[in-house]
Amino acid sequence: MTLNIAHRGGAALWPENTLPAFADAIASGCDGAELDVQLSRDGAVVVHHDFRLMAGVARKDGVWVREPGPRIAELSLAELRAFDVGHPEPGGTYAQQYPLLQPVDATIPTLEEVIRRAQGAPRPFDLFVELKCEAGADPILLADAVYDVVAGTGFLYGVIFVSFDWRTLARLRQRRAPCWFSTDTLDGDARPVIDAIVQADGQGWFPDFPDATPDNVGYARAKGLKVGAWTVNSVADMERLKGLDAICTDRPDLLASLF
């Protein structure tokens, strides 16, 4: 069975990484959602992809943020909550990228709030929690903070940790947490990367979808790894990748209509 994982809650349909997006993914019958976490200035584990508030998406008092937006790490949770992130600027880059997106009132949630939604789902709903570690930040501090939130909610059984910063995953593996190791687009042979994941005691490989070739997937599975892929948005790619352990997509509705 291939898990239908809503990327950032289904970024083509709802404002990404918001509670309305995750609520819709649950209501629509997705198997889970991917989300991005980082730390606010006061140490809250918040759900947001970019290291800065997104220009043309975040707005305060009706005024959209412009480049460069303020850094997440320099704002407290209360300060972050003052921004609406559910109404992309009409005609802006983000709105044009996602023409199906439904605007909705939304603020930046915490990881705990998303977990509580998942725990209330009528059927199992997994969270692929991607740790975003900014250059110069402490990966151990981030990993421990995220782990403590998940453990504190009793939801370790429903979370798979993923990251491009393998230092965070190394720390999480020390705490026996399940980790799939993410890779950006590879330039060359995937086997050394897959071998490195095995050496790091990873449970899965989470590559950019073009790298999930039959040979690479077969090699990873022969090494005992599960394999998912991101971000898969076309029908042709979804059909090609059917059979992976997970497909992460901005269009979970489209994936659900195929399988």
User: Which pair of structure tokens corresponds to residue 13?
Assistant: 């349909």
Confidence grade of residue 175 (pLDDT, cut at 50, 70, 90)? very high
Among candidates 201, 208, 196, which has minimal Cα distance to 244? 208
Tell whether the model's pLDDT for residue 66 goes beyond 90: yes
Mean of pLDDT values over 87-114: 98
Q: Report residue 242's pLDDT band, with 50, 70 and 90 as the boundaries.
A: very high
Does some domain include residue 216?
A: yes
How high is the pLDDT of residue 259?
Answer: 85
Tens of pLDDT, residue by residue over 176-230, are: 999 999 999 999 899 999 999 999 999 999 999 999 999 999 999 999 999 999 9
Report the C-alpha dihedral over residues 214, 219, 224, 228, rounded to 10 degrees: -40
Flag whether 57 is in a domain: no
Whether residue 114 is contained in a domain is answered as yes
What average pLDDT does the segment 221-243 reach?
99
Would residue 37 count as lying in a domain? yes
In this prediction, residue 78 carries a pLDDT of: 99
Q: Residue 32's domain spans which residues?
A: 3-51+108-258
Mean pLDDT of all residues in 105-111? 99
- Quick check: is 125 in a domain? yes
pLDDT band (50, 70, 90) for residue 55 = very high
For residue 140, the tally of other CB atoms under 10 A from its CB is 14
Supply the mean pLDDT for the chain: 98
Q: Is 230 inside a domain boundary?
A: yes
Q: What is the C-alpha to C-alpha distance for residues 93 and 151, in angstroms, rounded to an integer? A: 38
The share of the chain scoring above pLDDT 90, in percent, equals 99
* Beta carbons within 8 Å of 120's beta carbon, 6+ residues apart: none
Please check whether residue 182 is in contact with residue 206, taking contact to mean a CB–CB distance below 8 angstroms. yes
Residue 234 has pLDDT above 90, yes or no: yes
The domain total for the chain is 1
Q: Residue 61: inside a domain, yes or no?
A: no
User: Is residue 163 very low, low, confident or very high in pLDDT (cuts 50, 70, 90)?
Assistant: very high
- Which token pair is 230? 């991101």
Q: What CATH number is given to the structural domain containing 232?
A: 3.20.20.190
Distance CA 64, CA 87 (A): 9
Does some domain include residue 74?
no
Could you report the per-residue pLDDT of 11-52, keeping only the tens digit for each?
A: 999 999 999 999 999 999 999 999 999 999 999 999 999 999
pLDDT, tens digit, for every residue of 69-91?
999 999 999 999 999 999 999 99
Residue 174 confidence (pLDDT) above 90 = yes
